[in-house]
A and B are shown apart, each in its own frame.
Chain A
């Protein structure tokens, strides 16, 4: 049962335009969400996060939006650059009984920014 879903396995965007990556989750207990970028042969790199008490968080070209009622979050990249081409994973977390935060990852979206 995939609790975190990224329904678009791939996305192509022209350089300079906006990239919108989407993520849906099913467990209402998740209270912290993150986006990671992953290049081939490298580990996921943290991009941006948002807690459930917010609906928007910005960091430079990256903005994450959270719609709790729809259990949906999205990552906006504007303007998109060729170096943004990578696989993007969303992750959701909640406090586990042991006091640490276990992440559940989505299946990833491969973004290709065309020059």
Chain B
């Protein structure tokens, strides 16, 4: 089965520009999570969506927004980019299943490497 797909894989932007990152979850997964991983750091949770509604919010700057669409794909929109936004951005997806009814395991995409110049 196909895993989580993220596009683009690499993105280079200038300061103050905008960027849009896309995430396509595993088929039938209904929850999407976004993480930011800076150089030498652990992934930091940004935001999550369940059934197209924002479910949780982490350390996401106000300059960023995200949404989940009817086909469950998600987009992370980043405006007024700063040098410090250069990082790997991971999307993960999960699903409530009968087997794991009280637990979801997040499966990660390959990430988008954003470089802000």
Contacts and interface: CB of A to CB of B under 8 A. Distances in A.
A36 B108 CA distance: 10
Contacts of B109: 43
Interface residues of A, number: 25
A44 B58 CA distance: 19
B45 interface: yes
SS class, residues of chain B in contact with chain A: strand
Contacts of A80: none
Given A43-B90, A44-B90, A100 B111 contact: no
Interface stretch (B13-21, B69-77, B99-107): B99-107
A99 interface: yes
A102 B58 contact: yes
B104 to A, nearest CB: 6
Contact of B42 (A42, A45, A49, A108): A108
A70 interface: no
Given A42-B110, A42-B111, A45-B108, A100 B50 contact: yes
Contact of B56 (A49, A98, A107, A108): A98
B107 A104 contact: no
Contact of A34 (B6, B50, B105): B105
A105 interface: yes
Nearest to A39: B110
Interface of A: 4, 32, 34, 36, 41-46, 49, 51, 89, 96, 98-108
